[in-house]
Amino acid sequence: MKKYKFYLPVLLLILASCNKKFLDLTPVSTIAPGQFFKTASDAVTAVNGCYASLAQGSQYGATFEVLMEARADNFTDQDPSSNAGQNYQINRYSDNPGNTNFYNAWVGVYNGIFRCNTLLTAIDGINMDESLKNRIKGEARFIRALSYFNLVRLWGPVPLLTAAVDPVQAATLKRDDVAAVYKQVEEDLVFAAANLPATYAATDLGRVTSGAAKGLLGKVYLYQKKYTAAQTVLQEVIDSKAFTLLPKVADVFSTSNKYNAEILFAVRYAKGVANQDHGFWYANSQTITVDTTLLKAYNAADLRRPLSESVKPTGNANMMPRKFVDDPVNGNAGNDFPVLRFADVLLMQAEVLNEVGYSTGGNAFTYLNMIRTRAGLSTLSATDLPDQTSFRNEIYLQRRLELPFECDRWFDLVRSNRAITEILANKKVVLPSFRLIYPIPQQEIDIMNNKATFPQNQGYD
């Protein structure tokens, strides 16, 4: 959000035409928005730039894996020296506002929001097909919603912007209430769900669908404990039959089966293409290791356990979880990052149904057992989970076992009020309550220089 970086008109023009991989992204140039938005093709190119922001190293390309997983208890960073120990500090709850991970993510996410806002402001001036216009708006609003959902979960109150602003306006920004941010996220996702198609042609594989928008909206409702609203929208995703569990969980992450029927939305990459690939996630010469408490949590028969085991990719000296292994080209990988998949939807709906009211039968057990059965585990009944609390605990366990390293674990711990106890039990580290959200980057605090409207989060000042 630094006004000389975050608000620069850096609309990345990408992808003059789509191919079957969709994210075959080649930067063309940087053009001022007023000179650019003239045709429908310009709008498509601009929204591709919005997608591309998610793939950058400041977001799902690298930094989110540190902020959203290293903070939790699925792996342990044993390297206090690399990167000036900044990743280690996040893993051990000794970080400070000067940590560059915070600044990189903050600027990267707001840069993506700037791209979305610029497009949404300009697109109404383009003479083009209205259905295509609304689809592009839906794509941009989904990406903006996802961006704010990440911001509010990482930092709490943040500046809420729905239009591009100039440096003078930027100097007057304030941190908006969490409720206001969530309200905008909901509005964006409702619009996206109503205006996006259920499917695309193969040439546009990877664009946001109505099902993806509904799935994310259900997660947003769940985080706010709006269980009835979450139940409705998540059931629509399930009943649509647009997505399904793959028979083998390992196939979900196969690099030869990208964007398969289980994926609602993923950030796309292309191996061997400059600026479209990424470094290995969670890999670092055995100094970052899968936490033993995660591996011990799996039943011996659980087919998901091998995906969480540390392995060494071909031609690489680093160890990493098997689920994200991809044979490198020029030292980099090209597997997609799964932001939302159908297994998550089923677990969320099972959780929601239990929170609305525990039942000894019905869909809550059905959806839970779909996940367990695919993992090679026995089904559970009311005899095994006789009340709401036992069912809730099983859901939390299955979320940890099903979704490790997919940027959900830390947020699950925080939203369920179990972070402090679980971290102490698993990592043997005391987690102060103020560290459940991150500090605002010190650079932004210094620029705004207004404790009344732009304060540092408590405990970090």
pLDDT one-digit tens code per residue, 376-392: 999 999 999 999 999 99
pLDDT at position 34 is 58
In whole angstroms, give the CA distance from residue 433 to residue 418: 11
Segment 429-456, tens digit of pLDDT: 999 999 999 999 999 999 999 999 999 9
Q: Which CATH class is domain 12-439?
A: mainly alpha
Mapping DSSP to helix (H, G, I), strand (E, B) and coil, where does residue 71 land?
coil
Segment 202-223, tens digit of pLDDT: 999 999 999 999 999 999 999 9
pLDDT at position 83 is 87
- Chain-wide mean pLDDT for the chain? 91
DSSP readout, 262-326? TEEEEE---TTSTTT-BPPTT-STTTEEE-HHHHHHS-TT-TTHHHHSEE--TT----EEGGG--
Using a 10 angstrom Cβ sphere, with 0-12 exposed, 13-18 middle and 19 or more buried, the burial of residue 121 is middle
Tell me what percent of the residues of the chain surpass a pLDDT of 70. Answer: 92
Cα 215 from chain centroid (whole Å): 13
Domain locations in the chain as residue ranges: 12-439
* Structure tokens belonging to residue 186: 């909901």
Res 188 pLDDT > 60? yes
- The residue type of 405 is F
Q: In this structure, what are the phi and psi dihedrals at residue 341, rounded to the nearest 5 degrees?
A: -135, 170
User: Residue 35: pLDDT band by 50, 70, 90 thresholds?
Assistant: low
Query: Considering only CA atoms, which of 192, 174, 150, 162 is closest in space to residue 339?
Result: 150
Element (H, E) at 25: none
* Structure tokens belonging to residue 57: 């190293």
Tell me what percent of the residues of the chain surpass a pLDDT of 90. Answer: 82
Res 68 pLDDT > 70? yes
Contact 105, 112 (CB under 8 A): no
In whole angstroms, give the CA distance from residue 121 to residue 136: 12
Contact 196, 213 (CB under 8 A): yes
In whole angstroms, give the CA distance from residue 388 to residue 354: 6
Mapping DSSP to helix (H, G, I), strand (E, B) and coil, where does residue 338 land?
strand
In whole angstroms, give the CA distance from residue 435 to residue 410: 12
Give the dihedral sign, CA 434/440/441/446: negative
